[in-house]
């Protein structure tokens, strides 16, 4: 079965760095794009960016370009989302999801709640 | 960015009702339109892809239609477990933007 298992809840301070993970199993990790999606409390869903693990091609949504870094390690079938300097406004739940050939998101991780205090 | 506008923002309904949610794209997206169900504390769930294709395992009371800029999600007979927030998402042009969501309330 396809599974995406994300790392645990994070509580950080503004200015700190953070890297969260998304461990994939049950399919060929290198052959599917992985997307990262943000959900801020009381807000909707925003696609932050996508990565193709096979060659690490990455595309960012304009709002997130330069704000985060998406990466992947095919040897351990894991994708990452990282920040070099967190802001309070980064407080949100972050999901990873597998992207199909038609660009829909068919399998999702359980989400990671990131809380950043100022 | 492509703008996706859903209506209504909130929809009140009862078990057994037939409900329709609308999604409009700011530009034509052919059939690159997906629908997701989101419950509090849970990951989104893909319901419909490419406008009208039912994702595996999703009950047949869910259906989707549309082409170009106007799309609909229909639930033929609401069940208690269907009360949630529904999002459309265009998947033709990066960034693959979501609508603002439609909250389906009892």
User: What is the average pLDDT across B46-74?
Assistant: 98
Closest among A71, A62, A69 to A86, alpha carbons compared: A69
- In contact, B98 and A45? CB cutoff 8 Å: yes
Give B99's contacts in chain A (Cβ within 8 Å).
Answer: 44
What's the mean pLDDT when you consider all of chain B? 96
Q: What are the tens digits of pLDDT across the range B13-58?
A: 999 999 999 999 999 999 999 999 999 999 999 999 999 999 999 9
Is A68 at the interface with chain B, CB within 8 A? no
Quick one: pLDDT at residue A11? 98
Give B97's contacts in chain A (Cβ within 8 Å).
Answer: 47
Smallest Cβ–Cβ distance between B50 and the set A47, A102, A108 belongs to A102
Smallest Cβ–Cβ distance between A44 and the set B1, B87, B94 belongs to B87
User: What is the average pLDDT across B96-101?
Assistant: 96
What's the mean pLDDT when you consider all of chain A? 97
Quick one: pLDDT at residue A66? 96
Quick one: pLDDT at residue B1? 80
Q: Does the beta-carbon distance from A44 to B101 stay under 8 Å?
A: yes
For A55, half-sphere exposure in the C-beta direction (CA atoms, 13 angstrom radius) is 2
Cα separations in angstroms, A101 against A60, A106, B32, B69, B91: 18, 10, 11, 21, 10
Residue B5 has a CB neighbour count (10 Å cut-off) of 14
Answer whether residue B106 shows pLDDT above 90. Answer: no
Can you tell me the distance from the alpha carbon of A2 to that of A59, in angstroms, rounded to the nearest whole number?
Answer: 23
Q: What are the tens digits of pLDDT across the range A38-47?
A: 999 989 999 9
β-partners of residue A74 are: none
Is A55 at the interface with chain B, CB within 8 A? no
Q: Does the beta-carbon distance from A103 to B44 stay under 8 Å?
A: no
Residue A4: closest C-alpha in chain B = B43
User: What is the average pLDDT across B63-90?
Assistant: 97
Quick one: pLDDT at residue A42? 87
User: What is the average pLDDT across A104-110?
Assistant: 98
For residue B30, the distance in angstroms to the closest alpha carbon of chain A comes to: 12
- DSSP-derived secondary structure letter, A14: T
Tokens found for residue B71: 């799309």
């Amino acid at each position: 079965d396809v599974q995406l298992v994300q790392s645990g809840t994070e509580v950080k301070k503004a200015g700190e760095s953070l890297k969260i993970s998304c461990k994939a199993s049950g399919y060929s990790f290198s052959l599917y794009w992985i997307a990262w999606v943000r959900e801020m409390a009381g807000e909707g869903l925003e696609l932050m960016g996508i990565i193709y693990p096979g060659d690490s091609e990455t595309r960012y949504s304009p709002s997130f370009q330069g704000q985060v870094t998406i990466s992947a390690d095919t040897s351990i079938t894991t994708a990452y989302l990282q920040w070099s300097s967190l802001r309070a406004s980064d407080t949100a739940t972050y999901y990873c999801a597998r992207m199909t050939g038609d660009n829909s998101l068919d399998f999702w991780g359980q989400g990671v709640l990131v809380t950043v205090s100022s | 960015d492509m703008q996706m506008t859903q209506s209504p923002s909130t929809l009140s309904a009862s078990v057994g009702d037939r409900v329709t949610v609308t999604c409009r794209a700011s530009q034509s997206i052919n059939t690159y339109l997906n629908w997701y169900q989101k419950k509090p504390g849970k990951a989104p769930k893909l319901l419909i892809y490419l406008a009208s294709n039912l994702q595996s395992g999703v009950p047949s009371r869910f259906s989707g239609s549309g082409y170009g800029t106007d799309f609909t999600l229909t639930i033929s007979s609401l069940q208690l477990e269907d009360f949630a927030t529904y999002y459309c998402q265009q998947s033709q042009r990066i960034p693959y933007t979501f609508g603002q969501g439609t909250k389906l309330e009892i």
